[in-house]
Amino acid sequence: MLKEAIQFFQDEIRPNAYAIDHDPKAMTTAFHGLKERGLLALKRPDAFGGPALNESEFRRFQEEIARYSGALAFLQTQHQSAVSLLNKQAGDKIKAEYLPKMHGEKTVGLGFSQLRRAGNPICRATVVDGGFQIDGFVPWITGKGYFDEYIIGATMPNGQALFGLIPFKNVKGQTLSKPMKLAAMEAANTVTGQLESYFLPNRKVAFIKDKDWMRANDAFNITLQGHFAIGCALAGIDVVRDNGDKRGLAFLTKAAKDLEQELHDCRQALIDSQKDFGEDTASDRLKKRAWAIDLMMRCAQAAVTSSSGAANTADHPANRVLREAIVFSVSAQTSAIMEATMDRLVGR
């Protein structure tokens, strides 16, 4: 399955990566390509239709898709994460309603990064008859026009976090913005949501978690998210290697090789650190994530440098990779990841 997926990325995604980044029509075609090949619910257990990819195969998939199109990687991962989240956390009814259809019939995005923010909650849920009332702001929801629903995160008066499924469109109590103008991945249609007395019926409550669940979940994901940076770094190395071949410059070929060696080491470090997962290993895992981000940025810059002036032309892969690297530097960022990244950048 992985082999087939990579073939699809090389044949149909790589040649259209520029269009997929900024043109929703090209993105729609690419996203349908994933649906048709059964690549949208890769970690779904066999009991709900599979294919239950194991962790290492799944991370390899995430790297390879990010290598050929950061925008498509970013869009599809929202839905893949929703599959995993519902499978791990939701009750039986929601699982039975959603999971069997999540290979593409039912598509779901995410809107809960606001739960990471310090201070007064910006999106709140209060108990009302038959469900919850949601009020506030969702600063990031990717996938308008691609996903049917999204999982919203809202803070309850007792500090717990409510996760519920709501339509990904303007409905009574919810106004979504127009897709944001972004430096990269604009075609993934990222919007904001304003909620005013939105009624979430009990049957759409996915799960409720204690205050620090989000922190624990983020801690678990510190290095897992680093695989997107690895994929983006691979894309940068591909550009450097191609330039070495085209221009006959041996030092570019050597640079690509050296970066590739570092990438193998960094990837292995990410994989190893996930094996000794625990609170006490968080600082080590933060360092590995910062390494992956730093390496990605260097590979993207190497792609630009090796392409010379042409890197500035709008459709050149070097500037797309550099722009995608901006998103993968901050997606699922916590203040601890920000600090680890800064420490690495200033050479501490």
Ligand X SMILES: Cc1cc2nc3c(=O)[nH]c(=O)nc-3n(C[C@H](O)[C@H](O)[C@H](O)COP(=O)(O)OP(=O)(O)OC[C@H]3O[C@@H](n4cnc5c(N)ncnc54)[C@H](O)[C@@H]3O)c2cc1C
Residues that bind ligand X (CB under 6 A): 78, 109-113, 116-118, 139-142, 182, 185, 190, 327, 330-335, 338
Q: How far is the CB of 107 from ligand X (least distance, A)?
A: 13
Q: Is 252 left (phi over 0), alpha (psi -120 to 50) or beta?
A: alpha
Q: How far is the CB of 163 from ligand X (least distance, A)?
A: 11
Which of 191, 217, 182, 218 minimizes the C-alpha distance to 338?
218
CB-wise, 209 or 262, nearer to ligand X? 209
CB-wise, 191 or 263, nearer to ligand X? 191
Q: Please enumerate in sequence order all residues whose Cβ is within 8 A of that of 102, keeping only pairs 6 or more positions apart, or say none.
A: 40, 41, 44, 48, 79, 82, 83, 86, 108
- Token reading at 276: 């000794």
Q: How far is the CB of 74 from ligand X (least distance, A)?
A: 7
CB-wise, 221 or 301, nearer to ligand X? 221
CB-wise, 266 or 327, nearer to ligand X? 327
Place of tokens 């190395």: 237
Burial 52-84 (b: 16+ CB within 10 A, else e): ebeeebbbbbbbbbbbbbbbbbbbbbbbbbbbe
Secondary structure class of 309 (helix, strand, coil): helix
Number of helices and strands in the chain (H, E): 12, 8
Q: Where are the beta strands (DSSP E) in 87-122?
A: 108-111
CB-wise, 221 or 281, nearer to ligand X? 221
Q: How far is the CB of 329 from ligand X (least distance, A)?
A: 9
- Token reading at 242: 């191609």
The answer to whether the beta carbons of residues 320 and 21 sit under 8 Å apart is: yes
Q: How far is the CB of 215 from ligand X (least distance, A)?
A: 9
CB-wise, 144 or 241, nearer to ligand X? 144
Q: How far is the CB of 256 from ligand X (least distance, A)?
A: 28
